[in-house]
Amino acid sequence: MRLLSAIVISAALATTAACASKAVQESKPMPAAAPPAASAAAPALPRAAIGDFGIDLTAGDPTVKPGDDFFAYASGGWDKKFEIPADKSSFGPFDKLDDVSKVRVRGIIEKAAAAHAASATPEQQIGDFYAAYMDEAAIEANGLAPAQPGLERISAAKTRADLARIMGTIGFASLFDTQLSADLKDPDRYSVTITQSGLGLPDRDYYLKDDPQLKALRDKYVAYIAQMLTLGGSPDPHNQARQVMAFETATAKVQWPIEKRREVEANYNPRTKAQLIAYAPGFPWQDFLDAQQLGARQDLVLGELTAIKDLAALFKRTPLPTIKAVLTFHYLDSNASVLPQRFDKARFAFYGQTMRGQPQQRERWKRGVDAVDGAVGESVGRLYVAQYFPPESKAKMQLLVANLLAALSQRIDALDWMSPETKTRAHEKLVGFTPKIGYPDSWKDYSTLVVKRDDPIGNNHRAQQWWWDYQVGRLDKPVDRAEWGMTPQEINAYYNPSNNEIVFPAAILQPPFFDPNADPAVNYGAIGAVIGHEIGHGFDDQGRKFGPTGVMTDWWTAKDSQVFSARTARLIHEFSGFEALPGLNVKGENTIGENIGDLGGLNMAHEAYVLSLKGQPAPVIDALTGDQRFFLAYAQVWREKYRDGTLREIVMADVHSPSRFRVNGPLPNLDVWYSAFDVKPGDKMYIAPADRVRIW
| Averaged pLDDT, groups of 10, the chain, 696 residues long | 44 30 33 43 68 95 98 98 98 96 96 88 96 98 98 98 98 98 97 98 97 96 98 97 98 98 98 98 98 98 98 98 98 98 98 98 98 98 93 83 94 96 97 95 96 97 98 97 97 96 95 92 96 96 97 97 98 98 97 98 96 95 97 97 98 97 98 98 98 97
* Confidence at residue 29, expressed as pLDDT on a 0 to 100 scale: 40
DSSP string spanning 272-301?
Answer: EHHHHHHHSTTS-HHHHHHHTT-TT--EEE
C-beta separation of 541 from 265 below 8 A: no
The pTM for the full model equals 0.92
Beta-carbon contacts of 35 under 8 Å, excluding residues fewer than 6 positions away, are none
Q: How far is CA 502 from CA 384, 423, 489, in A?
A: 21, 21, 16
CA torsion angle 622 627 632 633 (round to 10): 100
DSSP-assigned letter for residue 580: E
The per-residue pLDDT for 3 is 52
Nearest Cα neighbor of 192 from 254, 90, 108, 268 is 268
Q: What is the DSSP letter of 668?
A: G
> Alpha-carbon distance 611 to 184, whole Å?
35
Single-letter residue type at 149:
P
What 8-state DSSP symbol labels residue 519? -
Q: How far apart are CA 370 and CA 26, in angstroms?
A: 38
What's the pLDDT at 390? Answer: 83
Strand 176-183 to strand 501-505: parallel, antiparallel, or no bridges (unpaired)?
A: unpaired
Domain boundaries, the chain: 5-102+389-432+491-691, 153-339
Q: Which of 660, 473, 516, 656 is CA-nearest to residue 578?
A: 660
- Do 695 and 600 touch, CB atoms closer than 8 A? yes
**Closest C-alpha among 491, 519, 518, 520 to residue 504:** 491
Q: How far apart are CA 630 and CA 253, in angstroms?
A: 45
- CA nearest to 647, candidates 662, 637, 639, 657: 657
Q: What share of the chain is helix, strand, coil (3-state, %, to 5)?
A: 55, 10, 40
pLDDT at 44: 55
Residue 302's DSSP bridge partners are 194, 269
How many beta carbons lie within 10 A of that of residue 402, not counting itself? 12
Question: Is the domain covering 153-339 a CATH 1.25.40.10 domain?
Answer: no
Other C-beta atoms closer than 10 Å to the C-beta of 477 total 9
pLDDT at 5: 53
Calculated CA dihedral for residues 308, 312, 314, 316, nearest 10 degrees: 180
Largest CA-CA distance found in the chain, in angstroms, rounded:
81
The pLDDT of residue 47: 85
According to the model, what pLDDT value does residue 7 have? Answer: 43
Cα–Cα distances in Å, from 479 out to 499, 519, 662, 691? 10, 40, 34, 44
The structural architecture, per CATH, of the domain 5-102+389-432+491-691 is: 3-Layer(aba) Sandwich (3.40)
